[in-house]
Structure 1
Amino acid sequence: MSQQRIIAHFDLDTFFVSVERLNDPSLNSKPVIVGGTKERGVVSTCSYETRVFGVHSGMPMAQAMKLCPHAIVLQGTRGDYSRYSRWVTEIIAAKAPLFEKASIDEFYIDLTGMDRFFDPVQWTVDLRQEIINATKLPISFAIASNKLVAKIATDLAKPNNYIVVPFGKEKEFLAPLRVNKIPGVGEHAFHTLLDLGIETIGDLQNANPVMLEQQLGKHGRDLWNRGHGISFSTVNAYHESKSISSENTFHENISSVEELEAEIVRLTEKIAHELRQENKMAGCVAVKIRYPSFETQQRQASIPYTCYDDELMFNAKTLFHQLYRKGQPVRLLGVRLSELTDEASQTNLFQDVSRKNELYKAIDDVKDRFGKDLITKARIAGRREAPEGLDETS
């Protein structure tokens, strides 16, 4: 029998508007639209004060201004949105066993199996509160047995609240909702369903799936499944595009310091090779440790920009020993390189690195020709004096 899935869906409420209000508190409680100009473009995000007039995301700005002519229109500050999004992502990444960043303001977390150790609902409530305390952003979430139901439930939890849909109650929860609450049911499909007498998801549940296929094609059966709360979509692990990382979940928990150090070396060597393949250097190293209880800890350090195995390994091992609880078994280890730059020639102006460059180029050439595992570092790699500039940032 397969394990019951537990999926949490987080959504930052009116994200762009919320960021603008943090920057300018005078916007609080006022109707705000972030999007194009008053005459052109579409609504990206709008405050709840504008939604009572019928304004919604994706609406043409001209139409939105007719509905709510007194709205304050902002062009948006994308740099701030990215900064806050990264901030929330980092908080989730430090705690969540497996998460997917679906968009700049939307996240899925797979909590399956965590109920053996603690209450997943309370864990998620605590994570939400941590995000709110740190960023001051409103955020809602829902927990359900799959991504589809969790996403629909989060919309009902807003603003700034949460909902839990118990396992086995998916159909009952969905039944009274209008059928266009199902993601992917656009205006055309919605009106087609209305013409068929299907207004609520309950109506969809009671419809003949063969008829739906005849009317809506191959998507008819999928829609019927969605109406029953059936979805097998998985949470896809998130990887920050501006970082390089690798992690390993062990088949059996490991408590040997020597084995854990060896894994840190292996992971670091792997991503250092990828770093050089992209002709980049890293200015930050992070190490992640997850224990059998799913408790996850992470520590990072700013370093002088480098792409060399020995320097990165030293810093990764230093962070590991700062973070690791001696004697405790470990379920997962991970290493991440971030603050990447391709300004390699300008980052080490005061070092003579020509011989080192030639050495690593030769090693990488062999790896590329015959496989990455052909050449591996000795276990003592990186065991040297700490480079200047090791600056813990977490």
Structure 2
Amino acid sequence: MSNPQRIIAHFDLDAFFVSVECLNDPSLKGKPLIVGGRERGVVAACSYEARKYGIHSAMPMKTALRLCSHATVVKGSRGEYSRYSRWVTEIIAAKAPLFEKASIDEFYLDLTGMDKYFNPYQWTIDLRQEIIDKTGLPISFGLAGNKMVAKIATDEAKPNGYLYIAFGREKEFLAPLKVNKIPGVGAHTYQSLRDLGIDTIEQVAAYPIELLEKVLGKYGGELWHKAHGIHHSEVVPYHEAKSISTESTFEEYVTDTDWLLAQLVGMTERVAYELRQDNKMAGCIAVKIRYPDFETTSRQTAIAYTFYDDELIPKAKDLFHKLYRKGQPVRLLGVRLSELTDEAVQTNLFSNVEKKTELYKAIDDVKNRFGSNSLTKATRRKDR
């Protein structure tokens, strides 16, 4: 018995950061809008109006403003992007039998087998409309027999549209498109192909696979299959890790606030370290306090996705101050990070995080070699 024909939908929120900014400030609609840091920053996102001037994401801000000096620049609301992303995720999770969250604004849905009961194309159209109606965000989708073709179809459907590529029509759909429309074909590979006289996907499909492998190695063979619309990557089920937490029960009851805060800093460092080891970011932090009579209180707050100690520690301290009954002895203290995700890539464009990430990587390497307590913040070196 043969496997059923796969049906994959790819959803992508259009100019996501820009769309959120325009929802929060409607006066920005229709303007050349750039999201990102000024001066030495880079463009995290830009509106379609800004793209007409040649501006694109990851471009240095100085270059972007040379291309369009009258563009409006906004710093970006990281917490808002996280909130809207979770909202869309919840809508999809409530309807889709199986889905993968590929990034903060991108989703794959596996609808294989649904055609026995209803029309998957109409179902996907209805889901898209529900997302638009509830969140106000524009979103595009592509529907096809595999992830790659669905993603390319979404790109062709943008902005705010949708496209269905019927089974057997993949090669026909792909043929006229530039070869760099295939995900993973970067500038270097594209130039190598152009040197061979290849510019379109149709030309790749017609090129002998052996010669492609000679130029591009193993990837040449993969590219040839992709040009024929063949792609077997599975939709990876989305399971958000529930939480990472740590807590300490003290042998003696403690009333020294400075000492408690020093313990809290250490705990937050430990859970943040675990988070980075798992290559995850947290969207929520909670602090728990238990008193000698076993009364336990906790408080949590949503945060912009992060795995940095210096962003998590102030949040933990703030929760502690809001929660702690001053002068009361404490029996137990705990920190929990939840709403874990690996959708970190885009949010990292908002600040100069490259050096910061390298610094944390170096610190974590030392901890991995010599133990997780080998490096600590100065505030933790406090004896009772």
For the aligned pair, the TM-score class normalised by the smaller chain equals 0.5 to 0.7
Conserved? CA contact 1:279–1:344, under 8 Å: no
Structure-1-length-normalised TM-score? 0.63
Give the conservation status (yes or no) of the 8 Å contact 2:290–2:296: no
Query: Equivalent residue of 1:5, what SS?
Result: coil
Find the aligned partners of 1:233 and 1:112 in 2 and give their Cα distance. 14
| C-alpha RMSD of matched pairs (Å) | 2.2
Q: Give, as a single letter, the amino acid of the residue that structure 1 aligns with 2:22.
A: R
Q: Deviations over 1:141-162 (max 9, x none)?
A: 0100010000011011011110
Could you say which residue in structure 2 is the equivalent of 1:4?
A: 5
How many residues are treated as equivalent by the alignment? 261
Segments of 5+ residues of structure 2 without an aligned counterpart are 248-282, 298-384
Please tell me the residue identity of whatever aligns with 1:63: T
For the residue of structure 2 that corresponds to 1:152, the secondary structure is helix
Which TM-score applies when normalising by structure 2?
A: 0.65
* Equivalent residue number for residue 102 of structure 1: 102
8 Å CA contact 1:279, 1:342 repeated in 2: no
Correspondent of 2:288 among 343, 347, 350: 343
Q: 1:124 matched to which residue of 2? A: 124
Counterpart check, 1:31 vs 2:32: yes
CA distance in 1, matches of 2:94, 2:135: 15
Matched residue, 2:192 = 192
Matched residue SS, 1:343: strand
The Cα shift of 1:351 comes to 6.5
Q: Does the C-alpha gap of structure 1 residues 63 and 351 become closer, same or farther in structure 2, counting only changes over 3 Å?
A: closer
Query: SS at the partner of 2:56?
Result: coil
Per-residue deviation, 1:58: 2.0
Conservation of the 8 A alpha-carbon contact between 1:43 and 1:57: yes
Equivalent residues in 2 for 1:375-394, closer than 5 Å: none
Distance in 1 separating the partners of 2:236 and 2:296: 41
**What is the aligned partner in structure 2 of residue 69 from structure 1?**
69
Q: Determine the C-alpha separation between the residues in 2 that align with 1:32 and 1:339.
A: 29
Q: Secondary structure of 1:234's partner?
A: coil
Q: Secondary structure at the match of 2:23?
A: helix
CA distance in 1 between partners of 2:66 and 2:227 (Å): 35
Q: Distance in 2 between matches of 1:194 and 1:232?
A: 26
Q: How does 1:1-394 map to 2 (within 5 A)?
A: 1-37=2-38, 39-241=39-241, 243=242, 278-279=245-246, 341=286, 343=288, 345=290, 350=295
CA contact (8 A) 2:35 2:45 kept: yes
Structure 1 unmatched runs, 5+: 245-274, 281-337, 353-394
Amino acid at match of 1:76: G
Given that 2:65 and 2:71 are in contact with CA atoms closer than 8 Å, whether structure 1 keeps it comes out as yes
For 1:71 and 1:340, locate their aligned partners in 2 and report how far apart those are by CA, in whole Å: 36
Contact conserved, 2:288 with 2:296, CA < 8 A, in 1?
no
Counterpart AA for 1:202: E
- Aligned residue for 2:290, secondary structure, equals helix
> Conserved in 1, the CA contact under 8 Å of 2:289 and 2:296?
no
Determine the C-alpha separation between the residues in 2 that align with 1:351 and 1:18. Answer: 41
Work out whether residues 32 and 47 of structure 1, in 8 Å CA contact, stay in contact via their aligned partners in 2: yes
Identity %: 62
CA shift at 1:192, angstroms?
1.0
Distance 1:179 1:97, change over 3 A: same
Report the alpha carbon displacement of residue 279 of structure 1 after superposing the two structures with TM: 4.9
Tell me how far 1:349 sits from its aligned partner.
Answer: 6.0
Equivalent position SS for 2:176: coil
Q: Shift of residue 342 of structure 1?
A: 5.1
SS of 1:142's equivalent in the other structure is strand
- Residue identity matched to 2:125: V
